[in-house]
Amino acid sequence: MAGRPRKPKAKKVLQGTFRADRNPVNEPAVEPIINLPVSPVSLNRWGTKYWDETISRLVDSGILMTIDLGGFEIICACWGRYKESEYDIAHDDDGKKRTTREYRKERGYSRRSMPEMQELRENWEQYSKLCKEFGLTPVSRNRIDLPEKITEVDPIEVLYKDKNG
């Protein structure tokens, strides 16, 4: 796809740049998440922990909508598989810690041809690509333009401030 990525209608309205003649007629409306969903049972312990720690922040900021839950589940699964590969490399069968060098000697593989290291790299690449889509990196978070949260103002306080300066 050539050119800039499209902005959603809601973002254009917030920025004051919305024009009906330039907007798709049938743009799908997305629903916000009202009640936080529980983590899927398909996630391992690291993926579940990541889900529990991250989902509330994404929902509160307005980034994660109901339609995005499948993508977020994939992010959590990639993170879980990455941490699982990392654990398998750093621990032996008895759960005792070891260095990567000890693991390579034990397995007899060079670093590049070790299947576990390759799996670790692949999961990290998938995770990092998806994180950019959800604003989970500092650079991608900087590109998200969220509206300020509107707090309800008590009319009595406004009247009091107007009279007393």
- Token representation of residue 108: 């007899």
Residue for token digits 């994180």? Answer: 131
Residue for token digits 């929902």? Answer: 59
Q: Does any domain span residue 63?
A: yes
Q: Does any domain span residue 92?
A: yes
Q: Does any domain span residue 29?
A: no
- Domain residues for the domain of 44 are 9-24+36-164
Q: What 3-state class would DSSP assign to 102?
A: helix
> Mean pLDDT highest for which of 81-85, 114-118, 132-136?
81-85
Run of H or E residues at 89: helix 69-90
More confident residue, 76 or 146: 76
* Per-chain mean pLDDT for the chain: 81
Q: State the CB neighbour count (10 A cutoff) for residue 117.
A: 20
Q: Does any domain span residue 3?
A: no
More confident residue, 111 or 22: 22
> Which tens digits make up the pLDDT trace of 44-83?
999 999 999 999 988 887 778 888 899 999 999 999 999 9
Amino acid at 96: K
Q: Does any domain span residue 2?
A: no
Q: What pLDDT is attached to residue 115?
A: 80
Is residue 37 within 8 Å of residue 69, measured between CB atoms? yes
Domain count, the chain: 1
Q: Does any domain span residue 121?
A: yes
| Beta bridge mates, 97 | 91
- Token representation of residue 114: 């070790």
Q: Does any domain span residue 31?
A: no
Q: What 3-state class would DSSP assign to 22?
A: helix
Report CA dihedral (152, 153, 156, 160) to the nearest 10 degrees.
170
Is residue 65 within 8 Å of residue 72, measured between CB atoms? no
Amino acid at 42: S
Rounded mean pLDDT of 91-103? 85
Rounded mean pLDDT of 119-141? 84
Q: State the CB neighbour count (10 A cutoff) for residue 64.
A: 22
Q: Does any domain span residue 74?
A: yes
